[in-house]
Structure formats: C-alpha cells, structure tokens
Chain A
Amino acid sequence: DIVMTQTPLSSPVTLGQPASISCRSSQSLVHSDGNTYLSWLQQRPGQPPRLLIYKISNRFSGVPDRFSGSGAGTDFTLKISRVEAEDVGVYYCMQATQFPWTFGQGTKVEIK
C-alpha cells in the first residue's frame, strides 16, 4: 500500500494568516494514464469529509479560492491563504493512483 505522511499533525493558526500542510507519499503518485490522483479533503467537527482539491491542484465546485494545492511526484502541499474560522477541522490528503486508495493521518487546523 502507498503510505501517505502528513506534516504537521497539528497546526494552530491565527485568523487571517496563512496555513500550509504537507503530504508525502511512499511512492510516486503519477498514474500510467499521466494523471496524479492526489486530493485534499476537509473534515469539520461532526461532519463528513468534503473534497477541496483533486488531481493536485483543481478546486472542487464551491471551494473558496483561498485553498490551493500544489506538488508533484511524491510531495504535495495544501495552502490556505488566509485562515477563516470556518476552516477549523482536520485535513486529509488522499491518493487514488493505486489500489487500495489511502489517506494521510490527518492534520488538525485550529485557531490560536
């Protein structure tokens, strides 16, 4: 299985300040079709996960543009340009390049 490792596991952030989460995979996530199936999900307290970003950098419908994704190969980053109160929650990276699909451990974003 591909192991997804996120850092940090906890990220206290000041409102209005940026936040960044890293995700590293144990092997390249480039699929044989040329795509890289790395996505980011947000899980607010008591809610199901919500897709933010798919294929490294594509924002899903309705996702604010303060969320952005980048990276390639085995190293990926989710950035929040200016953290808002509603961004509190746990963020997961997920790889869907190889079965079984796997998730990172999660990064808890909280307000200082």
Chain B
Amino acid sequence: QVQLQESGPGLVKPSETLSLTCTVSGGSISSYYWSWIRQPAGKGLEWIGRIYTSGSTNYNPSLKSRVTMSVDTSKNQFSLKLSSVTAADTAVYYCARESSPRGLGYWGQGTLVTVSS
C-alpha cells in the first residue's frame, strides 16, 4: 500500500521560501502524477500543482510565479518550493498521488506550515 509523508520546516519567515518534500513508500514514484494541495485552517482545499516523474509540471496560475516542483526518483521523493511567502500561505500542505486518471487516491497526512516572523 503506497504511503506518502510530507516533511519540512513548520515555520517560515515572510518573504522567504517554503520548502517541502514528500517521501513515497510502498511503491515506486515512477510513472505517476504527484500533486500538492493546501488547506488554510478551517477553510477549503486549493490545488497547487502537479508533477510527472518525467519532470513535466502543471501549476495553478494563481501561484505559478512562485512555485517550483521537482522529483527525485532515486530517493522516491518529490518536492515543493514556494517563494516570497506571506501569512496568506499559512496552511496545511498535502501531497497526493493520482490513482486513476485525475483522481487523487493517495494522500499524505499533511504538514502545517506557518508563515510568521
């Protein structure tokens, strides 16, 4: 059973870069699309973007200028970088894998990132 685990700093200063990694276990990272989604406390879900194991990406235009995703197949990991963060980027960040075409069937537990000085 594939499992995903997000990791990274829980606190990031305004204007700095948020960096998160998702480690995949129980299966190969290859040949799948991997997404990042975030959820501010008490609010709904926002899709940040996705990456294929070839490196091909699709980003949410609302964040595109600040987002970079990458994949490291040798470590079975993929990553998210979000630059120039503000308090509005404070949220629980989830990584997820598509299980069927465009269905997010596997999710990590999520990691809270707070943007504050």
Residues of A within 8 A of B (CB): 35, 37, 39, 41, 48-51, 54-55, 58, 60-61, 92, 94, 96-97, 99-106
Within 8 A of A (CB), among B39-89: 44-47, 49, 58-62
Report whether over half of chain B's contact residues are helix, strand or loop; otherwise say mixed.
strand
Q: Is the CB of B47 within 8 A of A61?
A: no
Main secondary structure of the interface of A (DSSP, over half): loop
Which of A51, A99, A104 meets B104, CB within 8 Å?
Answer: A51
Residues of B within 8 A of A (CB-CB), count: 24
Task: Give 21 pairs: A residue, B residue, CB < 8 Å, sorted on A.
Answer: A35-B102, A39-B102, A48-B110, A51-B99, A51-B103, A54-B100, A55-B100, A55-B101, A60-B100, A61-B99, A92-B45, A96-B102, A99-B60, A100-B59, A101-B60, A102-B47, A103-B44, A103-B46, A103-B47, A104-B44, A105-B44
